[in-house]
Amino acid sequence: MDLGKKIKESRKRAGYTGSTLGKRIGICKAAVSKIENNELKNGPTPDVLIRIAKACHDVSILTEFCGACPVRAQIILRQFPELNNIKTDPAVIASRLRKEMVEGAAALDVLTERFSDKDFQQRHDYLEVFEREMEQVIDVKRGIEILEFELVMASVHSCQELKRIYDRQQIKCEAHGHHVCPGAAAA
């Protein structure tokens, strides 16, 4: 897919007209049309692409741009061929995340045991154990972020779809009295 077509699809998916998108990012409707029809001599500037991606909640616009970049294809990937071997397949990432989650659960078991001790912070090895086990827990968080990012990049799911999932989960948590967002009680 070309960049213009990608932007047009993202704009429509976000529910914007060319005029609406132009107003949101500070360019005229005609400029949006030229971008979508690939009529700009040197293409849109990276700054404009970033504003479009943010307005449409679609970072895959930026990866489409980067993927078509001749400097990347002709110079960077030839100079650094290992960049071609990064596994971005959602199944590979999900499998890696599952492994991290199992290791994260084991780390939480260790932390739970430590936290249940009276004066757990006074133990001579507390900080060492805490840091080691928390690193594993944080790896789970990073793995989730990578999976979400790659699902969007692969156009498997959109940012809006993932946001709906987060919103539904937040509603469930609040219904059970857990994880209430700051300021939610005042609203």
pLDDT above 60 (res 84): no
Q: Please state, in angstroms and rounded to a whole number, the distance separating the CA atoms of residues 14 and 12.
A: 5
Q: pLDDT, tens digit, for every residue of 139-166? A: 999 889 888 888 887 778 888 888 899 8
* 3-82 topology per CATH: 434 Repressor (Amino-terminal Domain) (1.10.260)
The pLDDT confidence band at residue 186, using thresholds 50, 70 and 90, is very low
pTM for the model stands at: 0.53
Ranking 25-29, 54-58, 72-76 by mean pLDDT, the lowest is 72-76
Measured in degrees and rounded to the nearest 5, phi and psi for residue 180 equal -75, 130
Structural contact between residues 62 and 49, judged by C-beta atoms closer than 8 angstroms? yes
